[in-house]
């Protein structure tokens, strides 16, 4: 990314940043903060931008990221709406890396209205309307990291570009060698140490906000890259639906904590320096992919 000389230039620039506000602090524990979050700091998931993936073990819920991958998100919704993923399968689970799903040779299905491939949406321009809640600590892979809405992301203030980051639970559109060979017909989710080296190499389309534990327990495939060697090892996907198309009584109504809320800022402060009695050495920092992104069932 940069050689040493460039690093030192960058450090000098940062040294001039003394007007940046210090990160917030708190004396409350995480449990205390969670107890008093005002209702206005929680936001419902948009049913039009939420996917339900129905596995034999239950429902996996994915929040889509149209601000970062508008064309892929539109295409994945179109694929879901034409039933493309109904009868697909989880075909690959690679230990400490990804789980991936798609149609299979044994159960192919034609695409009717959606697109098979799309131009890459690896990054986008920084614009004033795009939320950005910055984390205060240094990151190995990017100069600025934080959250935009429900998603972990990074930005480069020099190029004015921003991109979603490969944190645990993030969902991406698998592709072949060419940048424009993805599109959403194959999707994967990060299930181990966040593979941040994939950032800017794949179009990320959203995040699993509920049901990771239904995916992470699946047997690892014994073929190359964790692909299952036989069709019988795969996990069938009964259906994948846009939440808005599911009858209201069958929906899972979740709320996420707004990352631009005071509660979230305090939660991050409490995680950077934990006050819980058990913690003897407060970390003094928090990694992008270690930050909590609370989700709850909507109160009735």
Nearer to a copy of itself, 80 or 164 (CB): 164
* C-beta separation of 239 from 86 below 8 A: yes
Nearer to a copy of itself, 139 or 144 (CB): 139
Q: Is 219 in the site for a copy of itself (CB under 8 A)?
A: yes
Q: Is 297 in the site for a copy of itself (CB under 8 A)?
A: no
* Cross-strand bridge partners of residue 155: 144, 162
Residue 200 gets the label, from left (phi > 0), alpha (psi -120 to 50) or beta, of: left
Contact with a copy of itself (CB under 8 A): which of 110, 129, 224, 277? Answer: 277
> What are the percentages of helix, strand and coil residues in the chain, rounded to 5?
25, 25, 50
From residue 60, give the alpha-carbon distance in Å to each of 45, 67, 138, 237, 252. 14, 22, 32, 10, 10
Contact with a copy of itself (CB under 8 A): which of 59, 72, 77, 196? Answer: 196
From residue 107, give the alpha-carbon distance in Å to each of 78, 97, 104, 160, 266. 19, 25, 5, 43, 49
Q: Which of residues 115-154 bind a copy of itself (CB under 8 A)?
A: 122, 137-141
From residue 238, give the alpha-carbon distance in Å to each of 95, 103, 202, 206. 24, 12, 26, 20
Cα separation, 248 vs 99, in Å, equals: 29
Nearer to a copy of itself, 220 or 238 (CB): 220
Q: Is 220 in the site for a copy of itself (CB under 8 A)?
A: yes
Q: Is 193 in the site for a copy of itself (CB under 8 A)?
A: yes
* C-beta separation of 61 from 50 below 8 A: yes
Q: In whole angstroms, how close is the CB of 190 to a copy of itself at the nearest point? A: 9
Show the tokens assigned to 178.
């060419």
- From residue 72 to residue 101, what is the string marking binding to a copy of itself with x (rule CB under 8 A)? -----------------------xx-----
Question: Which range in 29-37, 248-256, 261-269, 287-295 contacts a copy of itself by CB under 8 A?
Answer: 287-295
Residue ranges in contact with a copy of itself by CB under 8 A: 1-5, 7-8, 11-12, 14-15, 17-18, 20-22, 95-96, 122, 137-141, 167-169, 177, 179, 192-197, 199-201, 212-213, 216-220, 271-274, 277-290
């Amino acid at each position: 990314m940069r050689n040493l000389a460039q690093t030192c230039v960058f450090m000098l620039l940062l040294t001039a940043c003394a007007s940046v506000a210090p990160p917030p602090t708190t004396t409350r524990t995480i449990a205390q903060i969670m107890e008093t979050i005002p209702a206005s700091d929680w936001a419902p998931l948009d049913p039009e931008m939420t996917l339900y993936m129905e596995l034999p073990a239950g429902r996996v819920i994915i929040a889509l990221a149209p601000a970062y991958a508008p064309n892929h998100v539109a295409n994945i919704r179109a694929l879901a709406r034409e039933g493309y993923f109904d009868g697909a399968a989880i075909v690959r689970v690679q230990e400490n890396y990804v789980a991936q799903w798609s149609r299979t040779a044994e159960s192919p299905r034609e695409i009717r209205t959606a697109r098979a491939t799309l131009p890459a949406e690896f990054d986008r321009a920084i614009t004033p309307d795009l939320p950005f809640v910055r984390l205060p600590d240094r990151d190995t892979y990017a100069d600025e990291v934080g959250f935009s809405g429900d998603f972990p992301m990074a930005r480069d203030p020099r190029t004015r570009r921003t991109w979603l980051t490969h944190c645990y639970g993030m969902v991406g559109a698998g592709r072949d060698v060419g940048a424009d060979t993805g599109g959403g017909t194959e999707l994967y989710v990060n299930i181990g140490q966040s593979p941040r080296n994939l950032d800017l190499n794949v179009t990320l389309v959203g995040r699993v906000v509920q049901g990771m534990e239904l995916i992470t327990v699946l047997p690892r495939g014994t073929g190359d890259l964790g692909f299952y060697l036989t069709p019988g090892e795969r996990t069938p996907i009964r259906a994948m639906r846009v939440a808005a198309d599911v009858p209201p009584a069958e929906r899972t109504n979740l709320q996420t904590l707004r990352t631009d809320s005071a509660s979230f800022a305090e939660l991050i402060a409490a995680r950077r320096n934990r006050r819980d009695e058990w913690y003897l050495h407060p970390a003094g920092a928090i990694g992008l992919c270690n930050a909590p992104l609370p989700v709850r069932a909507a109160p009735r």
